[in-house]
Structure 1
Amino acid sequence: MAGSTAITAFVCFGVCLSVVNGISWLRNHVSGSTIQKIADRHLGSTKWSFQSAYKTGKNTAKDGLFVADVFKKAGVNVPHRNNWSSSPIGAEEWGNPNSPFLKGTSCWSPASTPRIGDVISDGVTVGIVTGDRKTTRATSATILKDDWGFRSDSLNMVFWHHSC
């Protein structure tokens, strides 16, 4: 029918499939506390350390991989740099409030007030909000939970909330 708009409605029971810009996204609603618990299970791990050879090789930052792995374990996909790459976006994209990788989905939105389970980044480092003024993140040596991102000298923090 010329000039009409087709509207499709459907009910999701935990998991939905949506298509945004021709890309299929598995949408899975996961609570912030689930994300927090998964992230905090890795405290002290060296798997994502700078010296680890995990996925990207030694002497590379793996904080973006840590965030992606936590969300993947919860059943949530984070955006990747391109469709044929297994490389998730890194701190620079998480720290960009206008990231086309994140704004191109209906599941991620910038948040002005951080909640447990949100992603936090300053464009250099990325982590997950896992408590009141607390983040869990990959450092050069280990997975650490501290007040990074909430200290008085923390500037230009960007928070992303997953809502699907």
Structure 2
Amino acid sequence: MKSTLVKLLLIAFLFNTATADKASDIVSAARGHVGSSRYSFYSFRWPGYRENKCNYFVHDVLKEAGVSPPERQGRFFTGPISAASWYSMSSKPGCNYVGTASSAQPGDVMADGSHVGIAVGDSKTVSAARDSVVENDWGFRRGQSIRAWRCR
């Protein structure tokens, strides 16, 4: 009985440690892009000039951190789900809904339907903005309707 309890506690500890490490990896990957114009509205990166790329940013950050991000599966296109899909309550393989911005922890994906970013702590997110990747209070501003997802 004692050995079973010890094993269960060890498994729980290892799982929580791995989850915390993955969150740290996601935050580090996101912050590594701050200042980059690669995902800006005006970059020529796919899907093209004058197109929002916040969902591509989140997709790439999750992959850099070793997390399999949810993807659209189409006949001719496979790629990141949209900001609207992140906001949707539909299931996302490998991700769990955690609630609103007040429930978000560092490494969680936050979406409002038209924009998506990564929570990094201290009521801040990193996301692809008009000119570059920025760290600011988007997602934690008063009046925003945010849904948070944890992908590990």
Shared fold, TM over 0.5: yes
Bigger drift between 59-68 and 69-78 goes to: 69-78
Q: Which residue of 1 aligns with 2:98?
A: 111
AA at the equivalent of 2:136: D
- In terms of fraction of residues, the more helix-rich structure is 2
Cα deviation for residue 49 of structure 1 reads 0.5
Query: Are 1:92 and 2:93 matched, yes or no?
Result: no
2:131 matched to 1:144?
A: no
Please give the alpha-carbon distance, in whole angstroms, between the structure 1 residues aligned to 2:34 and 2:151. 22
Are 1:157 and 2:149 an aligned pair? no
Give 1:39's match in structure 2, choosing from 25, 30, 38.
30
SS in 2 for 1:148: coil
Say how many residue pairs are matched: 132
Cα distance in structure 2, aligned partners of 1:39 and 1:142: 12
Superimposed CA distance per residue, residues 39-71 of structure 1 (whole angstroms, 9 cap, x where no aligned partner): 001111000001111121111100000000001
Shift of 1:83: 5.5
- Structure 1 segments, 4+ long, off by >4 Å, are none
What do the CA deviations read for 1:91-112 (whole angstroms, capped 9, x no partner)? 101111x224x1xx2x211002
In the alignment, residue 129 of structure 2 is paired with which amino acid?
A: T
Shift of 1:140: 1.1
Instruction: Give 1:93's aligned amino acid.
Output: S
Structure 2: 5+ residue stretches without partners: 1-13
Separation in structure 2 between the aligned mates of residue 56 and residue 86 of structure 1, nearest angstrom = 12
Does structure 1 retain, via aligned residues, the 8 Å contact 2:69–2:151? no
Over the residues paired in the alignment, what is the CA RMSD in angstroms? 2.0
Cα distance per residue 1:14-52 (max 9 Å; x no partner): 9xxxxxxxxxxxxx9652111001100111100000111
- Report the equivalent of 2:123: 133
Given the alignment, which residue of 68, 75, 78 partners 2:66? 75
Please say which of residues 49-58 and 59-68 is displaced more in the overlay: 49-58
> What is the aligned-residue identity percentage?
34
